[in-house]
Amino acid sequence: MEKSKYMNPYLAGFFLGLLLLLTIYITGRGLGASGAFKSMVVYAVNTLSPEHTAAKPYYIEYLSEHEGNPLKNWLIFELIGVVIGAFISGLISNRLEFKLEFPEKITKRVRIISALIGGALFGFGAQLGRGCTSGAALSGMAVMSAGGIITMLAIFGGAYMFAYFFRKLWI
């Protein structure tokens, strides 16, 4: 079967905006993603070595702000939903497929390494910037947070700044 076309981007954006608005209306907070990664890291480290989390200030701060199990976190549940929702969408539109996607010009190895390094940088930056494209940039824009909008400009500005140097990875 043929893959379906993507949704019109403006329509998708409109729906996403309504969803974000609904989220703020119901919960008082926005959407997010990287925070769930943080919960997982805190949980893993805390389980493997509680002495370690008790000694390092970043974990101490996190655990003092969030009661209970780090995995019992709004963003973890939201991210479980994302997996389900994206899977349903892929199923409906015939896009489910195990595949390492990369342009013809680069090798599989380069893509694997670039995905890993890119992910690490994003994960690191999202901690420093207190949120990623969803939690800081998009949700921050919706509530007109100065910090969120500055982070958004820095993400896109930074990406354009470095895009030239990594063009071989994509075009």
Site for other proteins in 83-122 (CB under 8 A): 83-90, 93, 95-103, 111-112, 114-122
CB 66 to other proteins: min, Å = 8
Distances (CA, A) of 123 to 9, 55, 79: 26, 22, 16
Q: Which of 68, 65, 76 is nearest to 41 (CA)?
A: 76
Query: What is the full DSSP assignment across 29-61?
Result: S---SHHHHHHHHHHHHHHH-HHHHHH-HHHHH
Site residues for other proteins, window 8-47 (CB under 8 A)? Answer: 8-10, 12-35, 37-38, 40-42, 45
Q: Is 147 in the site for other proteins (CB under 8 A)?
A: yes
How many residues in the shown chain lie near other proteins by CB under 8 A? 125
Q: Is 71 in the site for other proteins (CB under 8 A)?
A: no
d(Cα 140, Cα 31) in Å, to the nearest integer? 10
Out of 43, 46, 63, 150, which residue is the one contacting other proteins (CB under 8 A)? 150
Out of 72, 105, 107, 168, which residue is the one contacting other proteins (CB under 8 A)? 72
d(Cα 146, Cα 98) in Å, to the nearest integer? 40
57-65 and 34-48 helices, crossing angle to 10°: 110
In the numeric block, the tokens 């999202």 are attached to: 126
Q: Is 48 in the site for other proteins (CB under 8 A)?
A: no
Q: Is 168 in the site for other proteins (CB under 8 A)?
A: no
Out of 47, 49, 107, 159, which residue is the one contacting other proteins (CB under 8 A)? 159
Q: Is 70 in the site for other proteins (CB under 8 A)?
A: no
CB 167 to other proteins: min, Å = 7
d(Cα 88, Cα 63) in Å, to the nearest integer? 34
